[in-house]
Homo-oligomer: A and B are copies of this chain.
Amino acid sequence: MAQKPSIPKGTRDFSPAEMVRRNYIFDTIKDVFRLYGFQPIETPAMENLSTLMGKYGEEGDKLLFKILNSGDFVSKVSDDVYNEKDSVKLTSQISEKGLRYDLTVPFARFVVQHQNEITFPFKRYQIQPVWRADRPQKGRYREFYQCDVDVIGSTSLLNEAELIQIIDKVFKRLKIETIVKINNRKILAGIAETIGEKERITDITVAIDKLEKIGLEKVNEELSAKGVSDEAIQKLQPILDLEGDTASKLGQLEEIISTSGVGVQGIEEMKTLFSYLEKMNLATNFELDLTLARGLNYYTGAIIEVKAKDVEMGSICGGGRYDDLTGIFGLKDVSGVGVSFGAERIYDVLTQLDLFPPESTETTKVLFVNFGEKEEAYCLPMLSKLRASGINAEIYPDSAKMKKQMNYANKKDIPFVVLAGESEMAAQKFTLKNMESGEQTLVTSEDLIKILS
């Protein structure tokens, strides 16, 4: 019954080497989250379809992995529905659960379900896989991890500032140079309102976004083609012309959109946020980016996006403020702000820039070569001592050929090997071999612990 084994397309196995690298990313992120008082939660892989359906648009509903009901599920399908042989209708009667599609909806469900146990503001992080039945392609998987960090139940802009501080610290520790782009939905709304095209925030943002690529003239043509009035386009010109640094841009904008209540509020928020950030001595550059519109339907205040310098790659972190995350589950007026780190892309950036640290605390530091029964018995107590000192150590379990054992050490990237044969045993010492330099030293057990610590 031998089968050629494989895994579903779009999914991956992670080897020890990949795990070490992935854990380096997750551990770095988690450490920083904790420094800022965020705490972990986990939710089940499966959620009720009633929780998931309708939250990601029609396309999202299709991309949910659905779990077949257990037992004789088909007997519970009405004949009428069954005879239609329609996949969508049949699904609703044979499947009640789906795999989570993101961490946001399960988090909203969690907050509403546990609202009486939670102390607000609730600062939580969550690092778990999500599943999407997307067509797999380079860099896009059907199972991948999300790393979300959110504060909910507080409208203070200090939360936005601290999230950007977290971004700054995470990427500083990972040694990735980044630029943080910041926008505010209220400013975009203010612009649209000022030019008399309240409903066209998206068109206008897209137009601003294309300015650098296609030039002012083409942008105006596009806006016109989309039905934006000539008068509105005229009014938009000074905004397209904005120049200078963030402070100067904000100053000009403030004048232009001064008649829009929401616009002025957006400017105020932005100023407060930037004044926090300026005092925080960040290593990362941050700037106002009026073209930033990610998740526009969803965010209500700040919009944040992080790009890596030196690499051609989409954003590696992003998020913003949302004022009604939990409303869909019946809990109103809970404002939140959060960002999500793209672990898969960060992995690719670190690989491309060769930034993974060479040493890892997760791998073996020293291998004892196994020369046979007597030598093994001589080595085992030393091995225990090393482990008691917190040093990851192993002995080759069989007295295999030397070459095989050294090959094992090489393949596993073990930096040191201990050789202990007749002469070492007689001298009550150990020969320590540095696998990189090839250097061999005869050492006492005390020295061995010192060198490897």
Contact = CB atoms under 8 A, between A and B. Distances in A.
Contacts of A1: 54, 328
A120 to B, nearest CB: 8
Nearest to A128: B129
Interface in A145-196: 151, 154-156, 158-159, 162, 165, 169
Contacts of A131: 45-46
Interface string A96-111: 1101000000000110
Given A3-B50, A75-B87, 14 more contacts: A1-B54, A1-B328, A2-B329, A13-B43, A13-B44, A16-B39, A20-B39, A34-B362, A45-B143, A46-B143, A70-B133, A71-B87, A151-B397, A156-B398
B119 A8 contact: no
A11 interface: yes
B156 A387 contact: no
B65 A7 contact: no
Interface string A388-403: 0011111111100000
Contacts of A427: none
A283 to B, nearest CB: 12
Given A48-B7, A397-B159, A70 B74 contact: no
Nearest to A82: B85
A68 B51 contact: no
A94 interface: yes
Interface stretch (A228-236, A290-298, A407-415, A434-442): A407-415
A68 B91 contact: yes
Interface in A64-104: 65-68, 70-75, 82, 85-87, 90-91, 94-97, 99
Contact of A330 (B3, B82, B361): B3
B62 A65 contact: no
Nearest to A32: B387
A364 B37 contact: yes
Given A42-B14, A154-B397, A109 B73 contact: no
Nearest to A134: B70
A280 interface: yes
A121 interface: yes
B70 A67 contact: no
B48 A6 contact: yes
Main secondary structure of the interface of A (DSSP, over half): mixed
Nearest to A67: B65
B40 A23 contact: yes
Given A74-B87, A87-B74, A398-B154, A19 B35 contact: no
Interface string A6-38: 111001111110011001000000000011110
Contacts of A124: 16
A453 B68 CA distance: 52
Nearest to A399: B156
Interface in A345-373: 361-364, 367
B37 A330 contact: no
A321 interface: no
A114 interface: yes
A36 B394 contact: yes
A407 B121 CA distance: 11
B123 A394 contact: yes
A197 B250 CA distance: 89
A117 interface: yes
A247 interface: no
Contacts of A99: 45, 67
A110 B13 contact: yes
